[in-house]
Structure 1
Amino acid sequence: MSNNRSGAFLGGLLLGATIGTIAGILMAPRAGRETRQLLKKSADALPELAEDLSTSVQLQADRLSETAIKNWDSTLGRLKEAIAAGLEATQREQELLDEAEADLSVNASPAAHDNLL
């Protein structure tokens, strides 16, 4: 979860810096020619900035994916253990019921047996 937040923070930081730079250039008291040159330089830097942002987002997505797979594997392992424990408990209870039923049928007298039916 913190990886996702840090990726979002970095993306927002880069986007905010870009917007702030553009707004500052447009409002700066410079000659039109100088402003255009600065805008051209900034525009030339945008592909590199976009590539950096894309790489950062991809890294964050990869980390998130790895974390999700690890969590899934862990959850699946616990689920398998729980199912196995449930099957074992069911078998033990069935054996106890079978033993109790066998004890009742051996210890019961024919008259008591007739009363049960």
Structure 2
Amino acid sequence: MSNNRSGVFIGGFLLGTAIGTLTGLLMAPRTGRETRQILKKSADALPELAEDLSTSVQLQADRLSESALRSWDETLERLKEAIAAGVEASGQERQILKRQDAVAVDNRPSVSDRL
């Protein structure tokens, strides 16, 4: 979960930086020519910024995917262990019931004893 939060933070930080830069440029007391030059430089930097953001998002997605896969593997392993324990307990209980049934049959009075 913290990996996901850090990815969101980085993405928000980069987006906020871009918006803040653009707003600062538009509100700055510069001539139109200077502002256009700065905007052009900023626009030229946008593909690199987008690539950085894309890479960051991809890394976070990979980490999240790996984490989910590990969690799934751990859950599957616990499930297998629980099934094996259930099968073993069932077999033991069956053996106990068979012994109890055999003792009950042996202790049952025969027909000749009843007469």
Superposition TM-score tier, normalisation by shorter sequence: over 0.9
Q: How many residues align?
A: 112
Gaps of 5+ in 1: none
Q: C-alpha root-mean-square deviation of aligned residues, in Å?
A: 1.0
Task: State the distance in 2 between where 1:47 and 1:37 align.
Answer: 17
Cα distance, 1:87 vs structure 2:
0.5
Q: Which amino acid aligns with 2:43?
A: A
CA distance in 2: counterparts of 1:12 and 1:100, whole angstroms: 69
Q: Which residue of 2 aligns with 1:98?
A: 98
So what's the TM-score if we normalise by structure 2? 0.95
Aligned pairs for 1:28-107 within 5 A: 28-107=28-107
Cα displacement (A) at 1:110: 2.0
**What is the aligned-residue identity percentage?**
68
Give the corresponding residue for 2:17: 17
Unaligned runs of 5+ in 2: none
TM-score by length of 1: 0.93
Counterpart-to-counterpart distance in 2, 1:17 and 1:48? 14
Give runs of ≥4 in structure 1 deviating > 6 Å: none
CA deviation after TM superposition for structure 1 residue 71, in Å? 0.7
Residue type at the aligned position of 1:34: E
Deviations 1:6-37 (A, max 9, x none): 00000000000000000000000100000000
